[in-house]
Structure 1
Amino acid sequence: MQQPGSFLTTPARCVVGAAVPAVLLVTSLSALAEVSRSDQVVAAGVESEQARFDVVQVLEGLEHPWAVAWLPDGRKLVTERPGRLWLVDGDDITRVGNTPRVNPEERDGLALEASWQGGLLDLAVHPDYEDNGWIYMTYSSPGDPDAVIGDAEFGSGTALARARLSDDGSQLTDLETLYVQMPRTAPGRHYGSRIVFPGDGTVIFSIGDSGLRAPSQDLTDPAGSMIRLNEDGGAAEDNPLVGMAPGNLRPEIYSFGHRNNQGLAIHPETGEIWTSEHGPRGGDMIHRIEPGNNYGWPQVAYGTEYSTDEQVGIGRSAPGVTPAVHYWDYSMAPSGLAFYSGDEVPGWQGDLFAGSLAEERLHRLVLEGDRVVHEELLLDGTLGRIRDVRQGPDGRLYLLTDEESGGLYRLEPAH
């Protein structure tokens, strides 16, 4: 397999939404005091194959941010994994209240324990936001003990909700949960959670294997799959498993055999859905998703066991399993995925950009059809763990770093 590269400051005002629960205020005062606008160049004249660019920090002091999205009027929304949502409007930064509860009461404020990957996760603005005002978000949903597999007292699963923003931007209104993963599980990891709108009246999002592996090949369990719902909830009637024998297959499943997709993007020309997925020890992947297809995990994998370094499953391929478009032999830990279609850097148009948590860099993938023909590594160790990659309405790439004091960064051509 090809190896990477071988082809080859003005403080802002913080405003707190009035209805934020008191317990969250107590556990979040440090973050409230520190989130601010930066507008500082942190790396100037970065040389790359197709462009010379500056890296500008837009926001600082974010606690483990997970996603950024833009409203049509240019305002930004940013999620933090501990459960906070921020609205950025020029110099004003407002904490938005009435967000979904991501933990049961006994775990409030503890979302960042070492074993815990849950919290408030992805965020997507509906393409017709100006008409309907909907904002979609994923999060780890806690459940009652009888919703949890096994003897654990606590379990959670990936949930999808939507809400509208109040007129003053201080609260979410009309909050409704559209989907909650059942059953819930106890490991507290592999939530997937990225969201896209394919433009056919549905919403697609990822759910990881919950750290349990086997459910990814169990079509009566949504773990380890891509989920496709109607935009107002409920399984899309033309999903691939609808009506299939023996009758108990999950109708919301769109594709399966996934470990943990944390990057999700729609090709701007073909409309195809592409993902970036965590492998085990090595073997992280890029997929092109097709309805009803099996992507192999855990029977097929490109990586090895953490404890023994033995091959996972039966090998790197098997009949009936869709192979990855691209994979890495090492663990780059992909999160955040975006096709570039802007005019700011013409040489990047059509390229796919993938964030890397473990390697702390940005991967630029050059495509020919559904093949990766070249890869360039950018910002190696410059910013930290890259969690999200988005193209902004200004045609520039934006990056979020998943750190205790993370930031939002913009790449802009150097002059």
Structure 2
Amino acid sequence: MLQHLKKSIYLLFTLSLPFYFYACTKPSNEHSKDAVTSANERVVAMAYPPVETLPPNAPTQKPAFYGQTRSPGAKTQTPLNVTILARTLNHPWSIAFLPDGRMLVTEKSGNMRIITTTGIVSSPLLNLPAVKYQAEAGLLDVITDENFSTNRQLFWTYVEASGTKYTVAVARANLSADETKLDNVKVIYRATPSYTGLQHFGSRLLLYQGLLYVCLGDRHDDSIRVQAQQLNSSIGKVVRINKDGTPAAGNPYKTTSTTKGEIWSIGSRDPQGMVINPATSELWESEHGPTGGDEINIIKRGANYGWPVITYGLDNDGTPLNGGKTAQDNMRQPVYYWDPAIAPSGMTFYSSSVITEWQDNLFVASLKDKHIVRLIINNNRVTGEERLLTDQNQRFRDVKAGPDGALYAVTDELQGRLYRISKK
């Protein structure tokens, strides 16, 4: 009898959860287009509460649509192996796979290394340009060319000093045949203007259909962050360039004395993740919000993502930004946001068939909350969230889906780690 009662209580709890989640994330504007959500979309087939249990920094703010924040929880059912391949990396920032499964890994302090699938770490590659390493500045992202097997070309971003000012530079080179150095090193793009501050460089790279996408931060300070809305500045933008650094054809703006032709989108704060969704060919981006308001966005040509006019969460000083304004005409809403912040960084879509329940899921490295986020995506909406490796107490900086069906991640620590997460 008691057993049947427990089952009935559990069933009632499970069936009522979706309606509880909806009440907690009820749209602020029931008549908006995004708020018109079918009953089927609201009933999420999950038996777990949201993974975020802390109160929001901005409790009076409401999401623009159901599921925009605090999605129902999820839990991976596949047994996993978690292996630490390396433990002594100096603040690693990025992972890029070579054709044979080995990895290029950048260290923020200025080194780029090759790491084998068994965790053997090479000496630093030679010939990298001088890197400004302080606060959030350093050697940042790295990617390989789609034709790396034949041209051995790679691209990376780093913070470059010019006197007392600093900027993000994009460089190109070829890995030498003996894999000890970089040849033909050339800086192909510099974000402008340079600035004295050492925060919010953004700086993920993405190569798609032969073109480079670079996301660039707002540089943090009130005096310069307003340039995220200005077309004569690289600040707070995603730019789209050719492999020689020139503006790509088809960009939304022409190069003039007051407009940068490389701009693809505007209004970003501190974007640190970019990936193409292989299911839709859309560009997804993660960025740090202020006090709360971390975002996942789908980046569109010529779109405005609002910063610093609108945001979720609070401003840097803990007060509402623009009176707590979270929406404005002609400014895009994030697909998902976190309040309080988790500090999202690198991210990857999982498309392997090795772990079938992960297919088409988005994985995001979290620095502040020290975990890897798994987001279940349906029709460009988040319908489930899970937090992985919470027991490791590591600041996760980048996560990539490997060619072997495993996830690989690095942690931004003085004794930084390289993880492999695979099916048992």
TM bucket (normalised to shorter chain) is 0.7 to 0.9
Change beyond 3 A, Cα 1:48–1:392: same
2:42 matched to which residue of 1? none
What displacement does 1:275 show? 0.6
Q: Mind listing any 5+ residue stretches in structure 1 that lack a counterpart?
A: 9-46, 104-110, 145-153
SS of the equivalent of 1:367 reads strand
Between the aligned partners of 2:88 and 2:420, the Cα distance in structure 1 is 16
Letter in 2 for 1:184: S
What displacement does 1:214 show? 0.8
Letter in 1 for 2:89: L
Q: Deviations over 1:36-86 (max 9, x none)?
A: xxxxxxxxxxx9433221210011100100001111122211100010011
2:363 aligned to 345, 353, 369, which one?
353
Q: Deviations over 1:185-234 (max 9, x none)?
A: 011111111111121x2110111001132110111111100010012220
Between the aligned partners of 2:325 and 2:391, the Cα distance in structure 1 is 32
Counterpart check, 1:405 vs 2:424: no
1:142 matched to which residue of 2? 161
Provide TM-score, normalisation by structure 2: 0.80
What displacement does 1:100 show? 2.0
SS of the equivalent of 2:392 reads coil
1:205 matched to which residue of 2? 214
Counterpart check, 1:165 vs 2:175: yes
Verify the 8 A CA contact 1:265 1:337 in the aligned structure 2. Answer: yes
Q: Mind listing any 5+ residue stretches in structure 2 that lack a counterpart?
A: 1-23, 26-49, 53-69
Between the aligned partners of 2:322 and 2:354, the Cα distance in structure 1 is 42
Between the aligned partners of 2:130 and 2:402, the Cα distance in structure 1 is 28
Between the aligned partners of 1:74 and 1:7, the Cα distance in structure 2 is 34
Change beyond 3 A, Cα 1:50–1:205: farther
Which region of structure 1 is more displaced relative to structure 2, 302-311 or 253-262? 302-311
1:72 matched to which residue of 2? 99
2:248 aligned to 215, 220, 236, which one?
236
2:270 matched to which residue of 1? 260
Verify the 8 A CA contact 1:4 1:328 in the aligned structure 2. Answer: no
Between the aligned partners of 1:73 and 1:209, the Cα distance in structure 2 is 37
Change beyond 3 A, Cα 1:56–1:48: farther
Letter in 1 for 2:306: G
1:98 matched to which residue of 2? 127
Q: Deviations over 1:262-281 (max 9, x none)?
A: 01111112211001110000
Letter in 1 for 2:95: V
Verify the 8 A CA contact 2:314 2:324 in the aligned structure 1. Answer: no
2:234 matched to which residue of 1? 222
1:366 matched to which residue of 2? 376
Between the aligned partners of 2:291 and 2:337, the Cα distance in structure 1 is 12
Between the aligned partners of 1:159 and 1:206, the Cα distance in structure 2 is 12
Change beyond 3 A, Cα 1:254–1:390: same
1:59 matched to which residue of 2? 86
Letter in 2 for 1:208: G
More helix by share: 2
Counterpart check, 1:332 vs 2:342: yes
Verify the 8 A CA contact 2:271 2:287 in the aligned structure 1. Answer: yes
SS of the equivalent of 1:130 reads helix
Verify the 8 A CA contact 2:287 2:295 in the aligned structure 1. Answer: yes
Verify the 8 A CA contact 1:230 1:236 in the aligned structure 2. Answer: yes
SS of the equivalent of 2:228 reads helix
Counterpart check, 1:183 vs 2:212: no
Between the aligned partners of 1:413 and 1:393, the Cα distance in structure 2 is 14
Between the aligned partners of 1:284 and 1:381, the Cα distance in structure 2 is 22
Counterpart check, 1:281 vs 2:308: no
Between the aligned partners of 1:344 and 1:313, the Cα distance in structure 2 is 48
Provide TM-score, normalisation by structure 1: 0.82
2:146 matched to which residue of 1? 127
Between the aligned partners of 2:301 and 2:307, the Cα distance in structure 1 is 16
Letter in 1 for 2:227: P
The number of aligned residues is: 354
What displacement does 1:7 show? 4.1
Between the aligned partners of 2:178 and 2:339, the Cα distance in structure 1 is 49
Which structure: larger Rg?
A: 2
Report percent identity of matched pairs: 36
What displacement does 1:93 show? 1.7
